[in-house]
A and B are shown apart, each in its own frame.
Chain A
Amino acid sequence: MKASQSSPGQPAGGDRPRRHRVTDRVLGGGEEPDPRFTLANERTFLAWIRTALALLAGGIAVEAFTTEVFSPEIRKTVAVLLLLLAMFIAGGACFRWLNVERAMRNKTPLPLPLIIPVLALGGAVVSAVFIVFVLLRDG
């Protein structure tokens, strides 16, 4: 996304309502960025949240619909791993949204998304558990 207009921005604090002052403190001061960037950050957060929801749905589905396929131990292990991953991604999405918002307000470089390696590693671990289980079962 490319900005074609600069943000006028306004200093934080002043005679604004208390709720806004609390929000400003959480957001780390600075100036409001271009509104399109704020909305883009919100949509990116929502994309992460839907990723967390997909992992949540996957965990429930593995637990509920694979009783005929997997042993109870492996079913519960994989389901818990997926739900754990969903919890970390949901929490990480909140922190990422906040860190990006703070960076934009203070005009500092955007932070790296640490939830990407968490998601990649988590997905790999869950896949490895399944592969090991399938290999052991067939052997």
Chain B
Amino acid sequence: MTVAQVRYHADPGLQPERTSLAWGRTMFALVTVSLLFLRWLPVYGWLPAVLIVLTLLTAGGVYFSQRSRYVHGGRGIAEGRVRPDIGAVMVTGGAIGVLALLGMVVIIASPLD
């Protein structure tokens, strides 16, 4: 499988491109959430910093895997079979579940003001 074959896969539905863009939108949503956590920094101490780092790490993981993801999708379309990215799905879903859980801990542990 040459680069040209990956680049010029025969899918007029542009599935690899749309999938990469969907991951890109998710990455931007993660960055936006990390910016919102900044608002908690002066109020709740160090725990929001952990949330910001976790959010940005997840977003960074998406960013740095984008190129290989597009190549993987294009190759899969060309070969007629693509291996589902179970690792990326579980890590992303798990990270957001943990973010929500830690967010609840921050809120519940803080005294009512």
- Tell me the count of chain A residues lying within 8 A, CB to CB, of chain B: 53
Establish whether residues B89 and A52, one from each chain, have CB atoms under 8 Å apart when the complex forms: no
- Given A64-B39, A101-B84, also A52-B23 (CB < 8 A): no
CB <8 Å contact, A90 and B97: yes
| Cα distance A62–B15 in the bound complex, in angstroms | 37
Q: How many angstroms from the CA of A60 to the CA of B76 in the assembled complex?
A: 39
- Per the bound structure, the CA–CA distance linking A50 and B58 in Å amounts to 13
In the complex, B56 has a CB within 8 A of chain A: no
User: Using Cβ atoms and an 8 Å threshold, which residues of chain B touch A56?
Assistant: 33, 96, 99-100, 103
Q: Mark A23-42, 1 if CB is under 8 A from B, else 0.
A: 10011000010111011111
Name the A residues within 8 Å of B36 (CB-CB).
Answer: 57, 60-61, 64
Give the secondary structure class of B's interface: helix
Closest residue of chain B to A1, judged by CB?
B13
Are A42 and B16 in contact, CB atoms less than 8 angstroms apart?
Answer: no
Q: Dominant SS at the A interface?
A: helix
Please count the residue pairs between chain A and chain B whose beta carbons lie under 8 angstroms apart in the complex. Answer: 142
Range class of the B interface residue count: 35 or more
Known A43-B22, A54-B29, A97-B89; contact A9-B81, beta-carbon cutoff 8 A = yes
B32 close to chain A: CB less than 8 A: yes
Give the residue of A7, A52, A60, A98 whose beta carbon is less than 8 angstroms from that of B80: A7
Decide: B80 and A42 in contact? CB cutoff 8 A. Answer: no
A23 to chain B, nearest CB (A): 6
Q: Which of B1-52 contact A (CB under 8 A)?
A: 11, 13, 15-16, 18-19, 22-23, 25-26, 29-30, 32-33, 36-37, 39-40, 43
On whether the beta carbons of A83 and B103 are closer than 8 Å, the reply is yes
Indicate whether A32 sits within 8 Å of B81 (C-beta atoms), given known contacts A46-B26, A57-B36, A80-B108: yes
The verdict on A5 contacting chain B, using a C-beta distance below 8 Å, is: yes
Among candidates A5, A39, A84, A86, residue contacting B96 with C-beta atoms closer than 8 Å: A86
Assembled-state Cα–Cα distance A27/B83 (Å): 11
Q: Is the CB of B94 within 8 A of A94?
A: yes
* Interface pairs A-B: 7 shortest CB-CB: A35-B82, A94-B93, A87-B100, A90-B96, A32-B81, A64-B39, A35-B76
- Chain A interface (Cβ within 8 Å of chain B)? 1, 5, 7-10, 20, 23, 26-27, 32, 34-36, 38-43, 45-47, 49-50, 52-54, 56-57, 59-61, 63-65, 67, 72-73, 76, 79-80, 83-84, 86-87, 90-91, 93-94, 97-98, 101
